[in-house]
Amino acid sequence: MGLIRILSEKVASQIAAGEVVERPASVVRELMDNSIDAGATRILIKIENGGRNLIRVADNGAGMDRDDLLLCAERHATSKINELSDLFSVRTLGFRGEAVPSIAAISRMVITSRTPDQLAGFRLKLQGGKIKEIEETGAPVGTTVEVKDLFFNTPARKKFLRSAPTETDHIVDTLSRIALPFTALSFRLDDRDKTLLSLPSVDSDVSRLSALFGHEVAGLMIKMEREIQGLRLSGYLSPPEWDRARGDHLFVYVNRRSVRERLLTHAVIEGYGSRLMKGRYPYAVIFIEIDPALVDVNVHPTKQEVRFHQNRLVHEAVKTVVEETLRQKAAALFQVPAPASDSMGEKFGRIGEPIGGYTVYPADTTIAREPEPQVPLMIKEIPVVLGQLKETYILCETKEGLLLVDQHAAHERRVFEKLKKSYDSATLECQPFLIPPTVEFSPSESRTILKKMGELSQLGITLEHFGGGTFVVRSVPNILVDVQWESFLREVLPLLEEQGAVKGDQMVERLLALMACHGAIRAGQRLSKEEMISLVEQLDEVEVPTNCPHGRPVFKRVSFYEIEKMFRRVL
Ligand SMILES: Nc1ncnc2c1ncn2[C@@H]1O[C@H](COP(=O)(O)OP(=O)(O)OP(=O)(O)O)[C@@H](O)[C@H]1O
Ligand SMILES: [Mg+2]
């Protein structure tokens, strides 16, 4: 008896604030959201000491009159929804009437605001969520919210703050994320008097992409756009070779709200499929436009999670569009990206030298300085096989320079696609052994094999149990006739054991990739010129010539420009 007490208003509001405001960047996010919802076209943010001492967000939006100003810091005071059902048509970023009171509860806040039809504005001062003062003041149309001394009355939370530079990084990241879909709006972030980020209003997404990823990646990203199953999907994908060890550059937006949603991240990775090495992530931005009635945004206090009514459908749609976009791009495979320092070459010209001793390029040679990135070169007509390096790489000359092809990766990709085609069309050709080899397994391995023999036979691998741990290999796909059976099956085993967790199609792909790996030409294998030519030519016929089924690159280029730079023929 007597153990349960009602928390004081102050404690309750601090606890609620804790859910919304995790760190200074959360304040920036909420205030920016409000400015965007207020129809602002220009948003200026100023911070001091990583946002601990000051966060100020000034906008030129609709502003608030005196009454609204007095209300906006009340819990559940919002102009954005009226009833629960409104939640299912909500197009604004905010809807709960929680952000301003939450931030106010744990800071000293000053809100200055003026609507267009008023001559003067009003200034409201709050401390720990309590109204201290409201006064009339001269102010531009719009709203400026100043948040000082964040967490001043919750010392325990203050302790969790990281160093000022780290908190500043989070703020930059938050701003870049939120700003991305709002290209018509301009944003600026100042740290005291230093401008950290300036995003003018633009027609294209590229400058916003640069703020997130840097110029180089942003310039290479592949545009994606498609309507599918009532969803409008658009965005940007990095070429697979620009992969990362972490998924922190994968941004997803639902109706322009930045969300962190595993379902969607997963769909993007699946769309990349075997183009990415296992455990690697692309840079990607995905915008999903969906009827608000089909998505629930009221899932998490920070509004960064959403639930779709039809999860699978959205997942499939994202995966499909990513996959198709990358496949179309692969068609333009051998185009050479213009070297970043191209203009330098142009400016300083080539170093002159006496004509005679060297191969002479035509007078106006454009070999290195002006590659034509738009023209996809068909491999067939271009590469001239020069030879083999370290019995591993095939060296070719193309119009643009040197092409190095990893013979194993290239062949593996080719074999994999062939296997997959024949598997899909049920025309996998198998060959029975005249003298069937036997393989030995441990008791636990044998149990797995016995369980999965049926599935293996669908892939053309027919085994027969001979008793104990001994199995006889009756027949295999043609491609695998010469492989080391024992080691191949040993690698298949762990895959089969995992099978519970992996879907049928994916498992088949993994098994086929493993077969391709074993069946393909190895590194360290000497190839005849004809074999090399045929291998390089075959690359022209595969769907994804850039990567082997495990995601390793198939080829790399060194442009004439780079070569000439090495030899200081150009500066
Ligand atoms: N910058 C602003 N310009 C104009 N009105 C604002 C601004 N910031 C807040 N408001 C008003 O104050 C109200 C309360 O803001 P608050 O952020 O607390 O709630 P919300 O945005 O409605 O919902 P949420 O808690 O999901 O953010 C808003 O509904 C809006 O009417
Ligand atoms: Mg809000």
Atom number of ligand 1 nearest to Cα 97: 19
pLDDT at 153: 92
pLDDT at 130: 93
Phi and psi at residue 135, to the nearest 5°:
-140, 155
The closest alpha carbon to 223, from 313, 287, 289, 291, belongs to 287
For a substitution probing ligand 1, which of 60, 100, 122 has the most ligand atoms within 8 Å of its CB?
100
Residue 353 has pLDDT above 60, yes or no: no
Distance 99 CA to ligand 1 centre (A): 7
pLDDT at 377: 37
Confidence of residue 132 (pLDDT cuts 50, 70, 90): very high
For the stretch 220-263, pLDDT in tens is 899 999 998 889 999 999 988 788 878 888 999 999 999 988 89
pLDDT at 504: 67
Inter-helix orientation angle 262-272/311-330, to 10°: 30
The closest alpha carbon to 239, from 317, 339, 322, 338, belongs to 322
pLDDT at 500: 56
Atom number of ligand 1 nearest to Cα 145: 1
Confidence of residue 503 (pLDDT cuts 50, 70, 90): low
| Host H or E run for residue 162 | none
Q: Going by CATH, does the domain composed of 9-197 fall within 3.30.565.10?
A: yes
Residue 535 has pLDDT above 80, yes or no: yes
Buried b or exposed e, range 207-235, using 16+ CB within 10 angstroms: bbbbbbbeeebbebbbebeeeeeebebbb
Distance 97 CA to ligand 2 centre (A): 6
Pairing between strand 430-432 and 470-477? antiparallel
Give the residue extent of every domain in the chain. Answer: 9-197, 207-331, 384-557
Q: Give the domain 384-557 fold.
A: Ribosomal Protein S8; Chain: A, domain 1 (3.30.1370)
Contact 29, 35 (CB under 8 A): no
Confidence of residue 486 (pLDDT cuts 50, 70, 90): confident
Distance 80 CA to ligand 2 centre (A): 9
Average predicted confidence (pLDDT) for the chain: 84
Atom number of ligand 1 nearest to Cα 92: 21
Residue 345 has pLDDT above 70, yes or no: no
- Residue 528 CA to residue 149 CA, distance in Å, equals 73
- Closest residue by Cα to atom 28, ligand 1, is 78
Confidence of residue 499 (pLDDT cuts 50, 70, 90): low
Atom number of ligand 1 nearest to Cα 142: 3
Residue 332 has pLDDT above 70, yes or no: no
Pocket of ligand 1 (CB under 6 A): 30, 33-35, 37-38, 59, 61-64, 72, 77-80, 94-100, 143
The more confident residue out of 494 and 145 is 145
The closest alpha carbon to 525, from 420, 433, 393, 352, belongs to 393
- Count of CB atoms situated within 10 Å of the CB of 44: 18
pLDDT at 392: 92
Query: What does the DSSP assignment read for 61-106?
Result: S----HHHHHHHTSTT--SS-SSGGGGGG--SS--SS-HHHHHHHT
- Residue 570 CA to residue 343 CA, distance in Å, equals 12
Distance 300 CA to ligand 1 centre (A): 18
Confidence of residue 370 (pLDDT cuts 50, 70, 90): very low
Residue 134 has pLDDT above 50, yes or no: yes
Report which bound ligand comes closest to the CA of 99: 1
The number of residues in the chain equals 571
Report which bound ligand comes closest to the CA of 97: 1
For a substitution probing ligand 1, which of 72, 90, 300 has the most ligand atoms within 8 Å of its CB?
72
Distance 130 CA to ligand 2 centre (A): 19
- 149 conformational bin, left if phi > 0, alpha if psi -120 to 50, beta if neither: left
Determine what percent of the chain is predicted with pLDDT higher than 90.
40
DSSP state of 204: S
Confidence of residue 380 (pLDDT cuts 50, 70, 90): very low
| Host H or E run for residue 251 | strand 250-254
Report which bound ligand comes closest to the CA of 35: 1
Distances in Å between the Cα of 368 and the Cα atoms of 6, 379, 404 are 76, 19, 17
Q: Which residue(s) pair with 42 in the sheet?
A: 186
pLDDT at 490: 80
Contact 218, 210 (CB under 8 A): yes
Query: What does the DSSP assignment read for 504-558?
Result: HHHHHHHHHHHHHHHHSPPTT----HHHHHHHHHHGGG-S-TTB-TTS-BSEEEE
Residue 512 has pLDDT above 50, yes or no: yes
Residue 369 has pLDDT above 70, yes or no: no
For a substitution probing ligand 1, which of 34, 87, 109, 141 has the most ligand atoms within 8 Å of its CB?
34
Atom number of ligand 1 nearest to Cα 303: 26
Distances in Å between the Cα of 464 and the Cα atoms of 58, 363, 468, 557 are 75, 70, 12, 47
- Residue 560 CA to residue 402 CA, distance in Å, equals 7
CB proximity list for 286: less than 8 A, separation 6 or greater: 224, 233, 234, 235, 251, 252, 253, 264, 268, 318, 322
Report which bound ligand comes closest to the CA of 36: 1
pLDDT at 1: 64
Distance 11 CA to ligand 1 centre (A): 22
pLDDT at 51: 96
Distance 62 CA to ligand 2 centre (A): 14
Atom number of ligand 1 nearest to Cα 81: 22
**CA-based diameter of the chain, in Å?**
103
Torsion of CA 442, 445, 450, 455, to 10 degrees: -150
Determine what percent of the chain is predicted with pLDDT higher than 70.
89
- Residue 417 CA to residue 512 CA, distance in Å, equals 9
The CATH number assigned to the domain with range 207-331 reads 3.30.230.10
Residue 368 has pLDDT above 60, yes or no: no
Pairing between strand 284-289 and 250-254? parallel
Phi and psi at residue 319, to the nearest 5°:
-60, -50
pLDDT at 191: 95
Residue 146 has pLDDT above 70, yes or no: yes
Confidence of residue 15 (pLDDT cuts 50, 70, 90): confident
- Residue 144 CA to residue 386 CA, distance in Å, equals 67
In the chain, how many H helices and how many E strands?
17, 23
- Closest residue by Cα to atom 19, ligand 1, is 97
- Residue 333 CA to residue 241 CA, distance in Å, equals 12
pLDDT at 285: 95
Atom number of ligand 1 nearest to Cα 94: 26
Average pLDDT of span 36-44:
97
Residue 298 has pLDDT above 50, yes or no: yes
Residue 342 has pLDDT above 70, yes or no: no
Distance 128 CA to ligand 1 centre (A): 18
Confidence of residue 159 (pLDDT cuts 50, 70, 90): confident
Distance 531 CA to ligand 2 centre (A): 65
For a substitution probing ligand 1, which of 29, 30, 32, 37 has the most ligand atoms within 8 Å of its CB?
37
